[in-house]
Amino acid sequence: MSQAANPRQYVISFIFIGIASVILLRLFFLQTFEAKYKIMANDIAIYKKVVYPPRGVITDRKGKNMLSNTVIYDLMVTPHNMSKPFDTVQFCAALDIDKKTFINTMRRVYERNIEVRQSMFMEQLSQEQTARFQENAYTFTGFELVERNIRQYDHPNAGILLGYIGEVSPEMLKKPRYASYRQGDYAGLSGLELQYEEVLRGQRGVHYLERDKFNRPRDPYKGGILDTQEVAGKSLQLYLDADLQAYAEKLMANKIGSVVAIDPQTGGILAMVSSPTYDPNLLRGHDRAKNYAALYRLATRPLFNRATQAMYPPGSTIKPFTGLVALNVGAITPSFGYGCRGSYNACGRSIACEHKDAGHAANFRLALAHSCNSYFCHVFRMTIDYKNFGSVKEGLQTWHNYYNSFSFGVPTGIDLPFEKGGFVPDSAKYDRMYHNVWNSCTVVFVGMGQGELLLTPLQMANGMCIIANKGYYYTPHFVKSIGGHADTVLKKYNEMHRVLNIPDSTFNIVQQAMQDVVESGTAAGAKLDGVTICAKTGTAENKAIVNGEVIKMPDHSMFVAFAPRENPKIAIAVAIENAGYGATWAAPIASLLIEKYLKDSVSVKRKAMEDKMLNAHLINKYTYTIDSVSRLHDAMVYQARMEKKYATDSTRRAQDSAIFTHWVDDRLRNIKKQNLKSTKK
């Protein structure tokens, strides 16, 4: 039965092909033009896992761990992925928190970050919380435990040097230094942790994983070719001697002040104490903020690094430098003598000297050994009035430049953040102070370490290095090696700074004089069998405002030293606030530390002295008053500043500047008056 071809077979074939073409067309548009699906597919299926490498370990000069790592867990949340409804009750029970905390935290998460980003829910879970969460982890979709390495301080010492880490703040994230950080990352916030952040941090690894619809990570995405491997942070070896540091902190307990010990031959810091100290382990873990606030409120200010930030008048400890500058510029020779009769009267007013006997300042060595005020006031005047300089302004400026080259008055460049530079007055300062009418007599106190001169204990210790090395120093620094070898970061610390061009014979005179100070002079208590210590005591007068009056406070006890004289191994500066004579407190402490460092233990003979130092309680009762007043002052200054800021802002908005600004100035004047009144009360 043969038929003519039925035309309807073509209609049906046409329908088949037609519909298939429509489908193909739609597929073509869907797959080649609509890029959004590609993005969506990646969003839902690719999981970016950030792996934090362990932070670098910090060890002391002998390789003893000072700062290492342990593992803790952070709980992160991605609100977008949370199952809805979410079993809050079970979740709260697992983490042992109440529902209110949960709601508040979630609100904060929403405020800080967008829904699809992962944010911190809870920092540093305890072991029980971690275990309970992991048991039920599959029900808490959207939440994830992220393993983190937390810092572990192996000894409760050196907190202020090592610093601490914490979550980066939104303000920090705006700075270029933190460009590669994300919300929730940790960064060093102070001390060496901050200074060497880039080295210690290592490199974050990013692993791309595929995840399934239950949000469980599965195979690596594209076989892991996009992944970046994490690189562990490099370890730091310090010059610091952990035992010496611990001993120094023990000696400085219950005293306000600081100790800085430097190895003059390298500039490496052997110990640095800012007393009172705190246990650095307080500033880690989830109680960091609470503990920080508590420490911050203490009147003794343990978070303030006195070694690099506190500025003291150096007192007599500056006298060797007054002399050295004079010798270097040629204003005096070592044989120069001054006839002191117990006071210096050349400037109209009498400046007392502790020695009356004739000839105690017959030459430079004797004057320094006896710490003759008259001699050094005179030498200072001779220096700045020196004929070669032309005028006293030039002279003072030259003297100022010398001090700056000793890194007095400018930051030394130590590898700790927030270092203060102290203050060395220059001509411009006095021009302002005295309206251009001043001469060498006006500023004579500077020669004996009083007046406007202010130094940090670090600078004093660095000064000792210059004398110990006979004219040069290395920038003081902590880090000996990074990751086991000398890093380029450390190159600047290997530079020798030669600051004085004085023959060694003259230095020998200075050193001999300082040796005399220990052996027969004011610092007899610092004497140590078998070691020649060169030292200088200092007793710095200082004033403070207490109860609205400026009163003279007990003197700061200062002591600087280096030892041994030949081939010096340690230069040290000790400053104890309001403790009295330098010889009484600072000298024995320095001596004990030198003994501990050079001989590794303290001899039995000096046990009594050691006990006396350990048990001394030298915190001035005024500390608390001064602290509260200064805090009040700070608060008021802040308030006034903010008020002025708001006022200028609103002025700018209101566009009626003249009248309004007058009003604001009046108001500010009133506030200042009130402040003064309330301070007097």
Partner 1 sequence: MSSLRKALFYRIDGVVLLLYVLLVTVGILAIFSVEHRTTDITIFLANKTYMKQFMWFGYSLLFGFVILLTDSKFFSSFAFLIYTIALAVLFITIFAGVDVKGSRSWLGIGSFRFQPGEVAKIFTSMALAKFMSLPETNFKTLKDRLVAVAIALVPAALIILQKETGLALVYFCFFLVMYREGLPNSVLVIGFSLVALVLGTLLIERKVLFIVLTVLAVVIGLLMRQTLRRRMMPRIILVGAWLFCIIFSQVAVPFAFKHVLQRHQIDRIFSTIGKEVPDEYDKTMVAGEEKKGNSSEYNVLQSKIAIGSGGFWGKGFLNGTSTKNQFVPEQNTDFIFCAIGEQFGFIGSAILVILYVSMMLRIVFIAERQRSVFTRVYAYCVACILFFHFAVNISMTIGLMPVIGITLPFLSYGGSSLMSFSILIFILVRLDADRQALIR
Residues in contact with partner 1 by CB under 8 A are 1, 5-6, 8-9, 11-13, 15-17, 19-20, 22-24, 26-28, 30-32, 34, 36-38, 40-42, 44-46, 210-214, 218-219, 221-222
State which residue, 26 or 680, has the beta carbon closest to partner 1. Answer: 26
Which residues have a Cβ under 8 Å from the Cβ of 494 and sit 6 or more positions away?
Answer: 474, 486
Q: Report the C-alpha gap between 208 and 191 in whole angstroms.
A: 35
* CB 18 to partner 1: min, Å: 10
* CB 217 to partner 1: min, Å: 10
Query: Of 96, 90, 92, which Cα lies nearest the Cα of 106?
Result: 92
* CB 35 to partner 1: min, Å: 8
State which residue, 216 or 612, has the beta carbon closest to partner 1. Answer: 216
Please report where in the chains the tokens 């979550």 appear, as a residue.
167
State which residue, 214 or 566, has the beta carbon closest to partner 1. Answer: 214
3-state helix, strand, coil split of the chain in percent (to 5) is: 45, 20, 35
State which residue, 19 or 637, has the beta carbon closest to partner 1. Answer: 19
Q: Report the C-alpha gap between 608 and 612 in whole angstroms.
A: 6
Query: Of 545, 521, 541, which Cα lies nearest the Cα of 533?
Result: 521
Please report where in the chains the tokens 């007097």 appear, as a residue.
680
* CB 87 to partner 1: min, Å: 17
* CB 43 to partner 1: min, Å: 9
Please report where in the chains the tokens 């967008």 appear, as a residue.
114
How many Cβ atoms from other residues are within 10 Å of residue 621's Cβ?
A: 8
* CB 77 to partner 1: min, Å: 21
Q: Report the C-alpha gap between 200 and 179 in whole angstroms.
A: 17
* CB 267 to partner 1: min, Å: 56
* CB 678 to partner 1: min, Å: 57
Q: Report the C-alpha gap between 378 and 373 in whole angstroms.
A: 8
- Is residue 569 within 8 A of residue 263, CB to CB? The reply is yes
Q: SS3 letters for 207-246?
A: EEEEECCCCCEEEEHHHHCCCECCECCCCEEECCCHHHHH
Q: Report the C-alpha gap between 74 and 96 in whole angstroms.
A: 15
State which residue, 85 or 484, has the beta carbon closest to partner 1. Answer: 85
Angle at the Cα of 120 (from 232 to 206), degrees rounded to 5?
35
Query: Of 205, 261, 200, 222, which Cα lies nearest the Cα of 68?
Result: 200
* CB 4 to partner 1: min, Å: 11
State which residue, 37 or 638, has the beta carbon closest to partner 1. Answer: 37
State which residue, 1 or 550, has the beta carbon closest to partner 1. Answer: 1
State which residue, 206 or 298, has the beta carbon closest to partner 1. Answer: 206
State which residue, 214 or 615, has the beta carbon closest to partner 1. Answer: 214
